[in-house]
Structure 1
Amino acid sequence: MNGSLRTILAASIAAMAMTGVARAADVPIVPYVEPVPVGGWYLRGYIGMSNQQLGKLDNVLFTPGTVEFLDSGGFDAAPIYGIGVGYEFNEWFRADLTGEYRGKASFTALDRYDFNGDNIWDGSNDYSANKYEWLLMANAYVDLGTWWGITPYVGGGIGASRNTISNFQDINTPNGGVAYAPSASKWNFAWALHAGAGWEVTQNVTVDLGYRYVDLGDGETGDIVGYNGLNTVNNPMIFDSLTSHDVHLGVRYAFQ
């Protein structure tokens, strides 16, 4: 290879190298961004209010056709306070365990009765009581996607509710009678359905606004006795099928 050919070849290689460098300089440099981790443990706390319903009042002394409820019974709203710990498995599924105190809710109901079967009402019973619960739940949620930092979700839960009925009174105004019952507590199977949305304030903090339908099972009083302390049969008042529509506001803190 003569000197001229070597010179031409070297010049060509140099030109190709410079072209490659120029093209490489035109490629934008994208900085590396570390991905935000998904999953991990979180703590939650919440407060709310309950809107509770009763299936019916029942008692061994209620015989068919002798008692008619003029007011089947209702509860006042009551506060809810809960805490929990959970785990986010991925961007769409998480679960938690919660413990909750459901504050005292006042209860009233009114019936009338015909014990003689002569179609003449013999008297009435004006009932009053208080109710509160301790609720333990295991919950699972499906997060449905995130838009503008807001993530709607649905879920369900199962657990146990310790229902306490206290301050029960039965006032028979027409006949001047009063009966009462001591407080009593009962554990029941409980289940719930959830819906709500979380707002991601920071990478670690999410504000949660939720709705829940919860079935708390039953409740009952102690043995009802007359004002004179007499009673011929064990007859606690049964609060059958306690349910509630709850609204709560809380915060979740994720350890990421």
Structure 2
Amino acid sequence: MRSVKYLIAAGAASLLSSAAFAADMPSIMPAPQQYYAPPAQDFGGWYLRGDIGMTNSKGTLHDNLYDTLPAGTSLQQLGEGFTGGMSYGLGAGYQFNSWFRADVTGEYRSRVGFSGTDFTMFPNGGGPLSDVYAGGYTSWVGLINAYADLGTWWCVTPFVGVGVGGANLRTTGLQDTGTLIRGGVVQSASYFAQGASTTNLAWAVHAGLAYKVNNNFTIELAYRYLDMGTAVHGFGSSFDGTNAGPSSFQFRDLTSQDLRIGVRWTCCEVETPPPAPLIRKG
């Protein structure tokens, strides 16, 4: 009976030692590798945009009669300038990668007023003649733009860009009030040129900062230099009906330096499907 107890005790000790040895041995089957989804991209896809801005137009008033002034005539153009205005734009574009995007934009630019004075001294005692002008213009501008994003720091991305397209310029009429002093006699006359429309090539240069609120919404603060060409005036005449005919007045070299606030909403992103799960046999 005692020998049976010894046998049972010896068998139990052998099983325990075998289990301990097996626990110390390395596993023959490697643990399955865990799958980690790739990080989501924070760029790419179509976007819509909207912009509102302040415009600061520059340009010169040109009268074709300037080209036929007698030799020795002195002409001074004083105080010429435009009032400020507003611009309102919409567009759509595509973010190709982390640094390059492009869009198409269209905008309405509100009326800006023009004022200025010509002071002319003719040779041989003819004059002086002063002309006081009041006018203005509105415009529609469409551009195709390309931008380079220059890196992102704390969700802020500086960018630069260029654009090319067209500008439709509509003058709103020009009044010319002339005063001539001849032989001590003051003579005054008024002339009015109607508005007219013209379409020119336009181009722009952009620079600004973009702040990414989230992956789908970005706010921009941007500066833009815009060149729109020449705006013409239509039929004109003096207030008494004389001097009737096509107007000789133009706004030449119209440019604008704009400060704009814009928003971009990313939509319709192209999602890359995750890779197929790893399947192991065994």
| TM bucket, shorter chain | 0.7 to 0.9
Asked if 1 retains the 8 angstrom alpha-carbon contact of 2:65 and 2:248, the reply is no
1:142 corresponds to which residue?
A: 148
Deviates more, 1:171-180 or 1:198-207: 171-180
C-alpha distance in 1, partners of 2:262/2:148? Answer: 18
C-alpha distance in 1, partners of 2:254/2:25? Answer: 83
- Give 1:235 shift: 3.4
Asked if 1:122 is matched to 2:133, the reply is no
Asked if 1:202 is matched to 2:214, the reply is yes
| Structure 2: gaps of 5 or more residues | 1-15, 181-186, 270-282
C-alpha distance in 2, partners of 1:61/1:233? Answer: 14
1:105 corresponds to which residue?
A: 112
C-alpha distance in 2, partners of 1:212/1:185? Answer: 24
TM-score computed with the length of structure 2 as normaliser: 0.78
Asked if 1 retains the 8 angstrom alpha-carbon contact of 2:56 and 2:83, the reply is yes
- Give 1:205 shift: 0.5
Asked if 1 retains the 8 angstrom alpha-carbon contact of 2:170 and 2:196, the reply is yes
1:87 corresponds to which residue?
A: 94
SS in 1 for 2:65: coil
Asked if 1:156 is matched to 2:165, the reply is no
Asked if 1:57 is matched to 2:57, the reply is no
- Give 1:66 shift: 3.3
Aligned counterpart for 2:200 among listed residues 177, 188, 205: 188
C-alpha distance in 1, partners of 2:111/2:73? Answer: 31
- Give 1:178 shift: 0.3
Aligned counterpart for 1:217 among listed residues 197, 220, 229: 229
SS in 2 for 1:192: strand
Aligned counterpart for 1:133 among listed residues 130, 139, 144: 139
Deviates more, 1:166-175 or 1:154-163: 166-175
TM-score computed with the length of structure 1 as normaliser: 0.86
SS in 1 for 2:26: helix
Which has the higher Rg, Structure 1 or Structure 2? 2
C-alpha distance in 2, partners of 1:118/1:8? Answer: 129
C-alpha distance in 1, partners of 2:161/2:63? Answer: 36
Asked if 1:238 is matched to 2:238, the reply is no
| CA-atom RMSD in angstroms | 2.7
- Give 1:114 shift: 3.5
Q: Deviations over 1:186-216 (max 9, x none)?
A: 1000000000011001110000110000101
Identity %: 39
Asked if 1 retains the 8 angstrom alpha-carbon contact of 2:236 and 2:244, the reply is no
SS in 2 for 1:121: coil
Change (3 A) 1:126 1:75: same
2:277 corresponds to which residue?
A: none
C-alpha distance in 1, partners of 2:197/2:64? Answer: 19
Q: Deviations over 1:145-183 (max 9, x none)?
A: 111001110000000001111131001145220000111
- Give 1:123 shift: 1.8
Aligned counterpart for 1:38 among listed residues 40, 43, 50: 43
Give the letter aligned to residue 53 of structure 1. K
1:168 corresponds to which residue?
A: 174
Q: Deviations over 1:115-136 (max 9, x none)?
A: 5x22553321001101111000
| Structure 1: gaps of 5 or more residues | 1-6
C-alpha distance in 2, partners of 1:225/1:89? Answer: 55
